[in-house]
């Protein structure tokens, strides 16, 4: 029986509170707080049963967060607002000695650069306060990191090559839309590519390296090497890795729109003057693009995200592919959101459950692969994200 405060009433927040509400034995009291309270109220009504309390909070404002935490007294704060809010929410958790979980690492607003250094810098203070921070507990980062830890624990003596493969083979019927917050998504996919090889980071031009990869039940999809945040913590926590890369599928239509958006300056993060007001082009773009939370209704098809790993076991080389396929239609039928929100929200709920059951609880700041993967893997199967394994197949990479 525990109290949990969820911050951020977007697509991911919707799934998190939906799934928590179904487990009253674990999450007895749930509060959803966000910048716009009416969004929290609408989600609470949809979940029903008076299970979700709601509140308004500006998560950029530490005193407001502290006041809310002191009033509601949660055992854990789950941050599914935006990466910009990570540090203010961590500050409020420190001040109130409350544990913390998120799904995306901190990113400064004025620089499209995500790194763990800002959050890892809280390590000593969280340890001294006796509270836990669980970082990056969505699907990628999150499940992909747990998949890697599970592979290293059960299937290899040493893992050497890791390729995380993220395919969205769904069709939402719109000319252009992003599957999660457009501002964060476009900042992520338009930056330079980067991967780790032989102890060094190698940078590429955006989308420079690509190849078709076969995804189970889906088939071949052009996959592009991009930089993704879990690579930074995985190469640190699995020092036997000789190479670690991340691949994501994009359709030609999506890439063409993205190129136009960039070329005309609409992906810019520097403010520009418009009719006497300062506006940030990418934030204006977000206002006119489809809301990712509303894509679910007509979304068809699957996501397929997994880890393709090569390493050694008892002196012999072997390969291992562990993945989950998630249906957009099934995610929508269950929670009213599409699979990208679903595959992020379910692991955040499971991570919260791991903490509250005392299975992932230790003072300090941790990435998810630093905890025991076994109970989390079991919970994925029970709560809507079943996974599959393929041993010794051609990884294509």
Helix (H) or strand (E) holding 88: helix 86-96
- Does residue 299 belong to the site contacting ligand NDP (CB under 6 A)? no
Shortest reach from residue 229's CB to ligand NDP, in Å: 8
Q: Which member of 27, 74, 135, 140 binds ligand NDP (CB under 6 A)?
A: 140
Q: Which member of 77, 101, 134, 138 binds ligand NDP (CB under 6 A)?
A: 138
3-state SS assignment for residue 153: helix
3-state SS assignment for residue 18: helix
Q: Under rule CB under 6 A, how many of the chain's residues touch ligand NDP? A: 34
Helix axis angle for 339-356 and 373-382, nearest 10°, is 130
Q: Which member of 74, 141, 364, 373 binds ligand NDP (CB under 6 A)?
A: 141
Residue sitting closest to ligand NDP (CB): 10
Q: Which member of 119, 233, 303, 344 binds ligand NDP (CB under 6 A)?
A: 344
Q: Please identify, among the stretches 116-124, 132-140, 202-210, 271-279, the one whose residues bind ligand NDP according to the rule CB under 6 A.
A: 132-140
CB 144 within 8 A of CB 113: no
Q: Which member of 139, 156, 195, 224 binds ligand NDP (CB under 6 A)?
A: 139
Shortest reach from residue 313's CB to ligand NDP, in Å: 29
Contacts of the segment 53-57: beta carbons below 8 A, 24+ positions apart:
53/29, 55/31, 57/7, 57/33
- Does residue 83 belong to the site contacting ligand NDP (CB under 6 A)? yes
Shortest reach from residue 14's CB to ligand NDP, in Å: 8
CB-count exposure of residue 247 (10 Å: 0-12, 13-18, 19+): buried
CA distance 189 to 184: 9
- Does residue 8 belong to the site contacting ligand NDP (CB under 6 A)? yes
CA distance 69 to 61: 13
Burial pattern 17-44, b for ≥16 Cβ within 10 A else e, equals bbbbbeeeeebebbbbbbbeeebbeebb
Shortest reach from residue 49's CB to ligand NDP, in Å: 22
- Does residue 105 belong to the site contacting ligand NDP (CB under 6 A)? no
- Does residue 351 belong to the site contacting ligand NDP (CB under 6 A)? no
Q: Which member of 4, 6, 12, 261 binds ligand NDP (CB under 6 A)?
A: 12
Q: Please identify, among the stretches 136-144, 191-199, 316-324, 326-334, the one whose residues bind ligand NDP according to the rule CB under 6 A.
A: 136-144
- Does residue 306 belong to the site contacting ligand NDP (CB under 6 A)? no
Q: Which pair of structure tokens corresponds to residue 216?
A: 């189970």
CB 134 within 8 A of CB 366: yes
Query: Checking phi first, is residue 127 left (phi over 0); if not, alpha (psi -120 to 50) or beta?
Result: alpha
Nearest to 299 by CA among 322, 326, 272, 278: 326
What residues from 61 to 80 belong to the interface with ligand NDP (CB under 6 A)? Answer: 80
Q: Which pair of structure tokens corresponds to residue 297?
A: 């209704």
Residue the block writes with tokens 């674990």: 26
Q: Please identify, among the stretches 22-30, 82-90, 167-175, 256-264, the one whose residues bind ligand NDP according to the rule CB under 6 A.
A: 82-90
- Does residue 170 belong to the site contacting ligand NDP (CB under 6 A)? no
Shortest reach from residue 318's CB to ligand NDP, in Å: 27
CB 318 within 8 A of CB 28: no
Shortest reach from residue 143's CB to ligand NDP, in Å: 8
- Does residue 34 belong to the site contacting ligand NDP (CB under 6 A)? yes
What residues from 41 to 60 belong to the interface with ligand NDP (CB under 6 A)? Answer: 57-60
Q: Which member of 74, 193, 281, 293 binds ligand NDP (CB under 6 A)?
A: 293
Residue placing its CB nearer to ligand NDP in the complex, 104 or 129:
104
Burial pattern 293-319, b for ≥16 Cβ within 10 A else e, equals bebbeebeebbbbbbbbbbeeeeeeeb
The distance in angstroms from the start CA to the end CA of the chain is 45
- Does residue 11 belong to the site contacting ligand NDP (CB under 6 A)? yes
Please report, as ranges, the residues that interact with ligand NDP according to CB under 6 A.
8-13, 34-36, 39, 57-60, 80-83, 85, 103-104, 138-142, 180-181, 184, 292-293, 340-341, 344
């Amino acid at each position: 029986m525990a109290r949990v405060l969820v911050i951020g009433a977007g697509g991911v927040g919707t799934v998190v509170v939906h799934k928590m509400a179904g487990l009253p034995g674990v999450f007895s009291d749930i509060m959803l707080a966000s910048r716009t309270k009416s969004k929290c109220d609408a989600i609470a009504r949809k979940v029903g049963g008076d299970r979700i309390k709601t509140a308004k909070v500006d998560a950029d404002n530490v005193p407001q967060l502290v006041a809310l935490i002191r009033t509601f007294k949660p055992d854990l704060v789950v941050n599914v607002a935006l990466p910009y809010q990570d540090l203010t929410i961590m500050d409020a958790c420190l001040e109130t000695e409350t544990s913390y979980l998120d799904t995306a690492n901190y990113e400064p607003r004025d620089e499209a650069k995500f790194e763990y250094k800002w959050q890892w810098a809280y390590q000593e203070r969280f340890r001294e306060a006796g509270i836990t921070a669980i970082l990056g507990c969505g699907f990628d980062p999150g499940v992909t990191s747990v998949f890697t830890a599970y592979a290293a624990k059960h299937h290899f003596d040493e893992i050497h090559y890791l390729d995380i493969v993220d395919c969205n083979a769904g069709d939402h019927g719109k000319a252009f839309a992003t599957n999660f917050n457009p501002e964060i998504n476009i900042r992520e996919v338009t930056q330079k590519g980067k991967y780790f090889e032989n102890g060094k980071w190698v940078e590429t031009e955006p989308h420079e390296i690509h190849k078709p990869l076969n995804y189970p039940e889906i088939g071949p999809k052009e996959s592009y090497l991009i930089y993704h945040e879990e690579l930074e913590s995985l190469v640190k926590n699995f020092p036997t890795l000789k190479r670690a890369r991340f691949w994501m599928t994009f359709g030609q239509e999506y890439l063409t729109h993205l190129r136009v958006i960039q070329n005309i300056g609409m992906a810019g993060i520097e403010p520009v003057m418009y009719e006497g007001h300062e506006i940030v082009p990418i934030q204006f773009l977000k206002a006119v693009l489809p809301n990712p939370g509303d894509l679910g209704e007509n979304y068809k098809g699957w996501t397929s995200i997994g880890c393709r790993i090569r390493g050694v076991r008892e002196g012999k080389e072997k390969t291992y592919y562990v993945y989950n396929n998630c249906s957009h239609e099934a995610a929508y039928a269950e929670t009213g959101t599409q699979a990208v929100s679903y595959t992020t929200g379910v692991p955040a709920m499971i991570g919260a459950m791991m903490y509250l059951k005392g299975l992932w609880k230790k003072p300090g700041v941790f990435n998810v692969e630093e905890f025991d993967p076994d109970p989390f893997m079991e919970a994925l199967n029970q709560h809507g994200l079943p996974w599959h394994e393929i041993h010794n197949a051609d990884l294509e990479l």
